[in-house]
Homo-oligomer: A and B are copies of this chain.
Amino acid sequence: MSQFDNVSVVKKANVFFDGKCVSHSVLFPDGTRKTVGVIMPGSQLTFNVGAPELMEITSGTCQVKIAGDATAKTYTTGMQFNVAANSSFEIHAQDAVNYVCSFG
């Protein structure tokens, strides 16, 4: 599924790390929110997480190290990972990494 249907999209982007990560918020009829975003090639970023997150990689390749894990793992198109509440993860984008992030 390459798109979300029957949703609202917030016009203003979320810009992180000087534009190395950019997302737009998508609102669903049930009141939940996701973001669709992209991380620029070569970026090495650490995200602090409040609410639990599910990150689905929709294109690209990245190494991800979740706080508490001993090593990084490689994620590619179609893979996903969970991050616990009040935690963090490091992500290293090999190319442009598109993702969908779900909260809660």
Contacts and interface: CB of A to CB of B under 8 A. Distances in A.
Interface of A: 1-13, 15, 18-20, 22, 24, 26-27, 36-38, 40, 58-59, 96, 98, 100
Chain A residues touching B, majority SS? strand
Nearest to A37: B13
Given A6-B6, A24-B24, A27-B3, A98 B12 contact: yes
A39 B98 CA distance: 18
A8 B8 contact: no
Copies of this chain present in the complex amount to 2
Contacts of A8: 3-7
Contacts of A38: 12-13, 15, 19, 22
B12 A2 contact: yes
17 contacts: A2-B12, A3-B11, A6-B8, A10-B36, A11-B58, A11-B98, A12-B59, A12-B98, A13-B36, A13-B37, A15-B38, A15-B40, A19-B19, A19-B20, A19-B22, A19-B40, A24-B36
